[in-house]
Amino acid sequence: MQRFIGRNDFINPKFSDPTWGVSDEDMFNRSAEELAKIPDDTPFFALLQSLSNHTPYALPDPLPVAEVTGFAELNEHLTAMRYSDWALGEFFKKAKQSKYYDNTVFLVLGDHGFGTSHQLTGIDLLRFHVPLLIIGPNVVSTHGSTSLTVGSQVDLAPTIAGLTGGDAAHGCWGRDLMDVKDKGFAVIKPSGSDSTTAFIDGNKVLVKQPRLDEKLYLYSFEQESTAKLISDAAHEKDSKHKLHAFIQLSMDSLLHGKAGYK
């Protein structure tokens, strides 16, 4: 990392909260300014972290967007989402006017989704249904406008390397999602002390909850989100083996300082 800009680097921000720091509006405005300063012939990687749409939903007053109403306890959450979406849109308006825009790959995603009253499986699958938006030169013409390939955060670095072109070596656990021939897979685990884990393979998910046998589901995120228990001994055995192997390998790598090495 060559430079880090945090809450203490903002002078007279429009809004700052003691929990997370400045608003998305402040963060994206500063980001646009900093990126515009980078020389045209200098490759760069920048990480912009949005936080206004995270609890406690501390937002500027007055807001530049209309508040969401009519959804009871969800009003505050949806208003924060609308505000963050607006701030991101304002950033892209400025980015499109910059010299670097046509030669830059943008990846937009969240670290997790939000739980709902309609909980799919024992791991609350909807909370982990997070779309990845990729904007960049020739992305749609080369890869199409949509992809249903399953992936997770560990796949981001290999995917970025593939999109930027050239030969690249990495020690990541993931894969280039734009260059896989199968339906994709992912290992997921809730944050905190919950020991529930799951292995997603295409449209099937194996869920392992503490002190319970594994359960295999067929799920769908189409017009209606559904998940139903299925019996497929061969697939269950294979998913169980891969889940245990992935956890064992990742824990060994973290405990013995091997993470990030090829």
Q: What is the pLDDT of residues 33-74, one digit of tens each?
A: 999 999 988 999 999 999 999 999 999 999 999 999 999 999
Which one-letter DSSP state was computed for residue 69? -
How far does the chain reach from its first CA to its final CA, in angstroms? 20
Question: Residue 109: its pLDDT value, please?
Answer: 95
Report residue 184 CA to chain centroid gap.
16
Residue given tokens 């020690």 in the structure block: 171
> Which one, of 114, 113, 96, 112, lies nearest residue 104 by Cα?
96
Distance of alpha carbon 184 from alpha carbon 60, whole angstroms: 40
Instruction: With a cut of 90, say whether residue 257 has pLDDT above it.
Output: no
Which residues, in sequence order, are bridge partners of residue 217?
205, 229
Q: How far is CA 219 from CA 15, 126, 172, 207, 254, in A?
A: 41, 10, 28, 12, 31
Neighbours of 192 (CB within 10 A): 6
Neighbours of 198 (CB within 10 A): 25
Report whether 28 contacts 87 (CB < 8 A): yes
Question: Residue 82: its pLDDT value, please?
Answer: 98
Instruction: With a cut of 80, say whether residue 260 has pLDDT above it.
Output: no
pTM: 0.89
State the sign of the Cα–Cα–Cα–Cα dihedral 14, 20, 21, 27: negative
Q: What is the tens place of the pLDDT at every residue in 210-249? A: 999 999 999 999 888 999 999 999 999 999 999 999 889 8
pLDDT confidence band for 259 (50 / 70 / 90): low
Distance of alpha carbon 237 from alpha carbon 48, whole angstroms: 40
pLDDT confidence band for 261 (50 / 70 / 90): low
Instruction: With a cut of 80, say whether residue 169 has pLDDT above it.
Output: no
